[in-house]
Amino acid sequence: MSAKGRVLGALGRLVLREGRVAQVIDLAPRLCRVVVTGDDLRGAVWVPGDKAQIVLPDRSVRTYTPCSWDAGAGATSFLVFVHGDAPGAAWGRTVRPGDPVRFLGPQRSLRAEGPCVVVGDETAFGLAEALDAFGVFEVSDHAAAAAFVREGRGVVVPRGDLSAVADQVAAAAAGRALVLAGRASSIQGLRPLLAARGVPWPKQVKAYWADGKRGLD
């Protein structure tokens, strides 16, 4: 349990929304869509790109991106990438319909108006869906990418080939705003590569996770 989880757990319904898992859709062995519904979700003001900080069953807090939000019906969904055994990944692997889900949010994170390109990894699929963006995804899990990245809606580059990512971004960026998310070291590595291709560094940048760090947000 994290300190943040303890505080949020103690404040409970004063600050947290609570819903229940209505559906878990396995899109690939390590990617699932978790649909959450509940009266607490009604009337929320959600802007695409917002985040939710979910208090997990062990009271760790991890951040995910609502892909959509139906404030009338009280429903949202998350695309959860399962990367290992850490609390967020374990939740994605074990979450079942009927489970309670308590979270802070929606809260402001990244914003984009008009057509945009999301650059990231599997953790940015939800962001790309929320922003209805073209995606340039540097991935380690090709099954997850095949399940999410529709033809014409994005391109996939194997993890580690940042020059190829930068080439794809340079090709896709004309007339579109750039939004960078995902692995911290990739974001860092892209800076000189994009500069070398004449692509200005965007304002909307957020590391979603970093090697060796836990619950980065």
Question: Which of 48, 87, 105, 106 touches ligand FAD (CB under 6 A)?
Answer: 87
Question: Locate tokens 């399940």: which residue?
Answer: 147
| Cα 202 from Cα 12, distance rounded (Å) | 37
Per CB under 6 A, 206 contacts ligand FAD? yes
Q: Per rule CB under 6 A, is residue 126 in the interface with ligand FAD?
A: yes
Which of 19, 37, 41, 64 is the binder for ligand FAD (CB under 6 A)?
A: 64
Strands across the sheet with 51-55, in order?
Answer: 61-64, 51-55, 100-107, 17-28, 31-37, 75-81, 66-70
Contacts of 68 (CB under 8 A, 6+ apart): 76, 77, 129, 130
For tokens 């860092």, the residue is 188
Whichever of 93 and 196 has its CB closer to ligand FAD, that residue is: 93
DSSP H or E stretch at residue 206: strand 204-209
In whole angstroms, how close is the CB of 209 to ligand FAD at the nearest point?
A: 4
Q: What is the C-alpha separation between 51 and 203, in angstroms, rounded?
A: 17
When asked if residue 148 is in the footprint of ligand FAD (CB under 6 A), the reply is no
Using the rule CB under 6 A, give the single segment among 18-26, 36-44, 83-91, 95-103 that binds ligand FAD: 83-91
Looking at 59-67, 152-160, 163-171, 191-199, which segment touches ligand FAD (CB under 6 A)? 59-67
**Residue 112 contacts residue 106 (beta carbons within 8 Å):** no
| Identified binder of ligand FAD from the candidate list 63, 132, 165, 205, rule CB under 6 A | 63
Q: In the bound complex, which residue of the shown chain has the CB atom lying closest to ligand FAD?
A: 88
Q: Quote the CA–CA distance of 145 and 142 in Å, as a whole number.
A: 5
Build a one-symbol-per-residue string for 19-58: x at contacts with ligand FAD by CB under 6 A, - elsewhere: --------------------------------x-------
Residue 47: which H helix or E strand, with range?
Answer: none
User: Residue numbers of the site for ligand FAD (CB under 6 A)?
Assistant: 51, 62-65, 78-81, 83-84, 86-89, 109, 123, 126, 206, 208-209, 211-217
